[in-house]
Amino acid sequence: MTHWMHTPSAQALGLTLFHFLWEGAAIAAVLALALATLKSSRARYAAACVALAAMPLVCGMTFERVLPRQTLPAGPLPRAIAPPPLGSDSPALHRGLQASDVLPYVVPIWLTGVLLLHARTLAGWAATRRLQRNGVCAPPARWQQRLGQLAAGVRLSKPVVLLESCRVDVPLVAGYLRPVILVPLDLLSGLPAGQVEAILLHELAHIRRRDYLINLLQAVVENLLFYHPAVWWVSGVIRAEREHCCDDLAVAVQGNAFEYASALTALETRRGVAEPALAATGGDLMKRIRRLLNRPEPRHTAFTPALAAGIVILTAAAALTAWQPKPQDQPPAAQQKQGDVLPKKLIAVGADPYRKWLNEDVAYIITDEERAAFKKLQTDEEHEHFIEQFWLRRDPTPGTAENEFKEEHYRRIAYTVAHFTPASGLPGWKTDRGRVYITYGPPDEIESHPNGNAAHAFPYEQWMYKLIAGVGTNVIVEFDDPNRNGEYHMTADASAQRASVWMDTVKRGPLNRKVRALGTVADDGTVRLQVPEPVMKEVAIGQNVSVDTGSGVVAGHVFRIAPEVQNGTVGVSVTLNAPLPAGAAAKGVDAAIDIENVPDTVYVGRPVNALANSDGTIFKIEPDGKHAVRVPVHFGRASVNQIEVVTGLVPGDRVILSDMSAYANYERIELK
């Protein structure tokens, strides 16, 4: 019962409904301002219709925005080989999860309301259908003829049926395709002919303006967004202005406002009088009569727009308050009062099991939004509740005692520690293989080459996944072990890139150019890197180096460059600014040498085959996002993962970085 509430769509829907609290208020506020300046009923009616139509539209757009993307091929690495990095601190796109306690209940309650209201509307619609057939009779033929003449007078070509009904007490219009005007039984004979015609003109005006259809759509919007008073207010404005428009049309055709006002008053008089308790002064008909006779509005009605605006502003304030971050709910004073339990909390914070949970247990599977929300939590209770909800959201079988997802997750962690932990003692879950295993589960096939082969000098493994949701099918992930120490590193592989197109946006800004090199730690504590010969001309003594030992990054600088080339690489020695962590000396390191800081340039993620200072081509995504066209590009200086664009592209262009050699004969391709 509960699991669908935790699906991304349900959560996005809940957020959308929350956001509409202020969005709806804002739309109503704009309408209130517009109404304060607009005088003509047609303009006011149009403005209110636009406002009401904007409400579901805005909801749709909000939903689109807050819905989590399953397959987002952004960033310079395809997802297949780039699970979330450890301790990523990317800011949350929205502040949704602060409302995570209430959200699961919002959608079911809202859905129930919508269903009930729609059922009610449907029943009402069925009743109007029956009303057109049951308890009615055709009026004397002369009235049907007269109606035809009046319809021609308002330039209405659609045939309209006039019926007397024993069920209605006022004239009504029903139906859109075959409109029917229903009048009470004694109306046609009981009122002067001129007044009857005036009333019929009003009803014909409704038909000509398609009010019946628009009113049905209006009911749908009301039912969907029923919880917001602004919706009902805007809808009420539409109803009132609609009557004014029809009054104007009837008077324009008949030419006598006084007779028309008399007809309305006579009609109301015939209907009988309401119970005094229910009646209030200043009802809609009063306003219309005043308007028709050009009487000034009493003071309090002129005040109505201001009142409406006030309500709207209050709603907006309430909505904003509801979105305040949770920690404000617990002022510091409240925590200080609990002085006797404070020491226990300090111990808990010192050990910080929650930081371990965040950065170790769920580091690869927690979303950026969840991470941001978790970091804002303060008390143990909040943390515990969050963790419980975190697993509950992922439970494939909610309602049972077992959470298969959680069990499988911890089994994977245990597996990686048992199988992928290298000699250095780096926990198996922190290795590349561990990261992929925990994120995507056991591969369908593993091809292991512990001694390498003719093509690979190092030991390597290929993992094949038949399907990774959101990434692709037949995804191959390759790992190699260049240092032969059991710590395999992931390498980019053509199959993985083909599975998901790898895209990037051309940017303008500073480019920190680096050269990447692998190396080992020497006995004296310095690091010896093997730098590929072609990039050596930019490496100089004194350049900064960041050395990743696998258990931490240490800064250093180049102090010696070997004069000779060996096996295509040059030995570069690096002194470190801080001692290496214990145990790191035995294994290989991965280092990046800062060779140049370009203060301002145009650059893009480096395509697989792009060489520095060369001409090439690149597929540029067209504005529709579905096609890409080949454009010539001159590349400038290159870094490890970025390359300068000298000509051919401008900042903001989206391009494909994947290996496109398979499409060498195509100038334009379609993306699917």
Partner 1 sequence: MQELPRPTDAELDILTVLWSRGPATVRDVHETISARRPAQYTTILKLMQIMADKGLLLRDETQRAHIYSAARPREWTQSQLAGDLLQRAFGGSARSLLMGALSARKASRKELDEMRRMLDEYEKGAK
Q: Which is nearer to partner 1, 242 or 435 (CB)?
A: 242
Q: How far is the CB of 6 from partner 1 (least distance, A)?
A: 34
Sites for partner 1 among residues 217-256 (CB under 8 A): 219, 242-243, 246
Q: Which is nearer to partner 1, 126 or 553 (CB)?
A: 126
Q: Which is nearer to partner 1, 231 or 289 (CB)?
A: 289
Stretch that binds partner 1, among 34-42, 136-144, 346-354, 584-592 (CB under 8 A): 136-144
* Residue 296 engages partner 1 in binding (rule: CB under 8 A): no
* Residue 454 engages partner 1 in binding (rule: CB under 8 A): no
* Residue 554 engages partner 1 in binding (rule: CB under 8 A): no
* Residue 301 engages partner 1 in binding (rule: CB under 8 A): no
> What single string gives the DSSP state of each residue in 556-573?
EEEEEEEEEEETTEEEEE
Q: Give CA–CA dist 186/270, Å, rounded.
A: 10
Q: How far is the CB of 411 from partner 1 (least distance, A)?
A: 55
Q: Which is nearer to partner 1, 167 or 383 (CB)?
A: 167
Element housing 647 (H / E)? strand 642-647
> Helix 211-224 crosses helix 229-254 at what angle (to 10 degrees)?
170
CA distances to 36, 235, 239, 290, 652 from 283, in Å: 20, 17, 13, 11, 57
Q: How far is the CB of 297 from partner 1 (least distance, A)?
A: 12
Among 28, 106, 199, 230, binds partner 1 (CB under 8 A): 199
Find the angle CA(389)-CA(393)-CA(396) to the nearest 5 degrees: 135
**Distance of alpha carbon 410 from its chain centroid, rounded?**
30
Stretch that binds partner 1, among 79-87, 122-130, 501-509, 559-567 (CB under 8 A): 122-130
Q: Give CA–CA dist 16/61, Å, rounded.
A: 9
Q: Which is nearer to partner 1, 137 or 578 (CB)?
A: 137
Among 72, 273, 401, 469, binds partner 1 (CB under 8 A): 273
Q: Give CA–CA dist 433/448, Å, rounded.
A: 13
Detail the DSSP E strand segments found in 507-587.
Answer: 507-521, 527-532, 544-548, 553-566, 569-576
* 364 within 8 A of 438, measured Cβ to Cβ: yes
- Residue 452, burial from CB neighbour count under 10 angstroms (0-12, 13-18, 19+): middle
| Interacting residues of 617 by C-beta distance below 8 A, sequence separation 6+ | 630, 631, 632, 633
Among 206, 433, 435, 587, binds partner 1 (CB under 8 A): 206
* Residue 105 engages partner 1 in binding (rule: CB under 8 A): no
Among 6, 33, 61, 268, binds partner 1 (CB under 8 A): 268
SS3 at position 363? coil
* Residue 293 engages partner 1 in binding (rule: CB under 8 A): yes
Quick one: CA dihedral 424, 82, 387, 89, positive or negative?
Answer: positive
* Residue 124 engages partner 1 in binding (rule: CB under 8 A): yes
* Residue 281 engages partner 1 in binding (rule: CB under 8 A): yes
Among 135, 305, 571, 616, binds partner 1 (CB under 8 A): 135
Among 64, 284, 297, 329, binds partner 1 (CB under 8 A): 284
Q: Give CA–CA dist 171/156, Å, rounded.
A: 19
Q: How far is the CB of 155 from partner 1 (least distance, A)?
A: 18
CA atoms within 13 A on the CB side of 351: 7
* Residue 193 engages partner 1 in binding (rule: CB under 8 A): no
Among 70, 72, 89, 137, binds partner 1 (CB under 8 A): 137
Q: Give CA–CA dist 68/77, Å, rounded.
A: 19
For partner 1, the binding residues (CB under 8 A) are 120-121, 123-128, 130-131, 134-140, 163-167, 170-174, 185-186, 199, 202-203, 206, 211-212, 215-216, 219, 242-243, 246, 258, 261-262, 264-265, 267-269, 271-274, 276, 278-281, 283-286, 289-290, 293, 295
